[in-house]
């Protein structure tokens, strides 16, 4: 069976985006021996800067042919890890959401289509594209009924990526990722309940959560997510669409109990009215990915413990948003 990167190992990999996900993927690619180039609009800072140390970092806009072209030249694989508006904000300005999430992707796909057989990974969202699924854990062939503009944009990105594949332009992999957490995640975006809780506990601020805390998500540690991305470069090309989660659902209240127990910290929690665009339960069926690669993501308890350990080593680090206002957790899918 053909491999995503052909029979040769992709020695040069381009990561588009150096945010929470992109920086961790770049780091683990570099650790695997690949030559890694990171293309990002702004210079990485903080934890992200530490992770991409040793990678070639190019500042520029992916939509610029003069920028992406030379960066992708000679690369064996391109990974699309650019950020977008978070789900709640996306609903207030769908036009901006299209501009932020979809336009850059379409530009990248068009540019990569000029290199015959380019392999490409698109990071989608398992937490939003399925909507309120009738079946949980939800398999990849389940219906996709996103409730937010964010989820609609991710699903549109998948469709455009597969369209370019059908036209023979690229060899893609689409990863529907669960709720990622771990070191380096910022609570400033209003998402990431674990990072928000820890920030609020450190700052003595209340944590504000929409709903009664019963919303269920599939939480995956950022290193486990990145490890899956790296391993899949050497895996068979089919199937093209894969869930990347743990297959375990955890409610917000359960998450907060785990964080309290592991971190030894406490924060006041304020529960706000639920929102119509928040998926009530999202748990991913991971049977398909486990057939392709060795994949055994850590438990939430171990992941929170690892996160707290790294944060404790980052002396003086704190999300700047917490010092000004309470954190609001919007409970989206992947960043």
CA atoms of 277 and 280, how far apart (whole Å):
9
DSSP 172-188: EEEEEE-EEE-TT--ST
Query: Is residue 161 in some structural domain?
Result: yes
Query: Is residue 199 in some structural domain?
Result: yes
173 and 310 both lie in a single domain: no
Task: Return the structure tokens found at 249.
Answer: 């659902």
160 and 191 both lie in a single domain: no
- Listed residue (277, 197, 285, 273) closest to 241, CA to CA: 285
- Listed residue (132, 246, 232) closest to 179, CA to CA: 246
67 and 142 both lie in a single domain: yes
Give the number of domains in the chain: 2
pLDDT of residue 139: 98
C-alpha torsion sign, points 59, 61, 66, 68: positive
User: Which residue is associated with the tokens 């996103």?
Assistant: 146
267 and 231 both lie in a single domain: no
CA atoms of 160 and 155, how far apart (whole Å):
9
Query: Is residue 101 in some structural domain?
Result: yes
Task: Return the structure tokens found at 134.
Answer: 């009738």
261 and 158 both lie in a single domain: no
Q: What is the pLDDT along the chain (335 residues), one digit of tens a residue?
A: 345 544 345 489 999 999 999 999 999 999 999 999 999 999 999 999 999 999 999 999 999 999 999 999 989 999 999 988 777 778 888 898 999 999 999 999 999 998 877 999 999 999 999 999 999 999 999 999 999 999 999 999 999 999 999 999 999 999 999 999 999 998 766 568 999 999 898 888 999 999 999 999 999 999 999 999 999 999 999 999 999 999 999 999 999 999 999 999 888 999 999 998 899 999 999 999 999 999 999 999 999 999 999 988 875 444 444 344 444 443 333 33
Query: Is residue 3 in some structural domain?
Result: no
168 and 202 both lie in a single domain: no
Which CATH number belongs to the domain containing residue 108 in this structure?
Answer: 3.40.50.720
151 and 78 both lie in a single domain: yes
Task: Return the structure tokens found at 248.
Answer: 């375990």
Query: Is residue 290 in some structural domain?
Result: no
Query: Is residue 56 in some structural domain?
Result: yes
- Listed residue (134, 187, 127, 180) closest to 332, CA to CA: 127
308 and 210 both lie in a single domain: yes
69 and 30 both lie in a single domain: yes
- Listed residue (109, 114, 56) closest to 82, CA to CA: 109
268: containing domain: 186-218+247-283+295-329
Cα distances from 144 to residues 39, 84, 138, 240, 247, in angstroms, run 31, 20, 10, 16, 18
Could you give the angle at which helices 300-313 and 252-263 cross, rounded to 10 degrees?
50
Query: Is residue 268 in some structural domain?
Result: yes
17 and 158 both lie in a single domain: yes
253 and 161 both lie in a single domain: no
Query: Is residue 334 in some structural domain?
Result: no
pLDDT of residue 203: 87
Task: Return the structure tokens found at 237.
Answer: 């090309």
37 and 153 both lie in a single domain: yes
Which CATH number belongs to the domain containing residue 322 in this structure?
Answer: 3.90.25.10
pTM of the model: 0.91
């Amino acid at each position: 069976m053909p491999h995503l990167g052909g029979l040769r190992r992709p020695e040069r990999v381009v990561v588009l985006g150096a945010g929470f996900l992109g920086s961790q993927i770049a780091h683990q690619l570099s650790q695997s021996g690949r030559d890694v180039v990171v293309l990002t609009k702004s210079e990485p800072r903080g934890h992200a800067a530490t992770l991409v140390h040793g990678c070639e970092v190019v500042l520029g806009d992916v939509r610029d042919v003069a920028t992406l072209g030379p960066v992708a030249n000679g690369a064996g694989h391109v990974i699309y890890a650019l950020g977008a508006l978070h789900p709640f904000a996306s609903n207030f300005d769908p036009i901006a959401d299209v501009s932020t999430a979809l336009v850059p992707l379409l530009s990248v796909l068009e540019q990569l289509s000029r290199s015959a057989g380019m392999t490409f990974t698109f990071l989608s969202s398992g937490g939003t594209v399925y909507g309120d699924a009738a079946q949980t854990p939800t398999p990849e062939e389940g219906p996709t009924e996103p409730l937010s503009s964010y989820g609609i944009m991710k699903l549109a990105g998948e469709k455009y990526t597969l369209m370019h594949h059908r036209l023979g332009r690229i060899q893609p992999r689409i990863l529907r990722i669960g709720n990622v957490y771990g070191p380096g995640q910022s609570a400033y975006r209003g998402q990431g309940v674990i990072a928000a809780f820890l920030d609020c506990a450190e700052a003595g601020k209340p944590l504000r959560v929409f709903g009664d805390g019963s919303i269920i998500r599939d939480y995956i540690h950022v290193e486990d997510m990145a490890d899956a991305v790296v391993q899949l470069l050497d895996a068979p090309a089919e199937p093209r669409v894969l869930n990347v989660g743990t297959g375990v659902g955890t409610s917000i209240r359960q998450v907060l109990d785990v964080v309290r127990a592991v971190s030894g910290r406490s924060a006041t929690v304020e529960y706000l009215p639920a929102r119509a665009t928040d998926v009530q339960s999202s748990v991913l069926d991971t049977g398909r990915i486990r057939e392709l690669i060795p994949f055994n993501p850590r438990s939430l308890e171990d992941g929170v413990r690892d996160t707290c350990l790294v944060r404790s080593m980052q002396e003086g680090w704190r999300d700047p948003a917490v010092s000004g206002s309470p954190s609001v957790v919007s409970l989206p899918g992947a960043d």
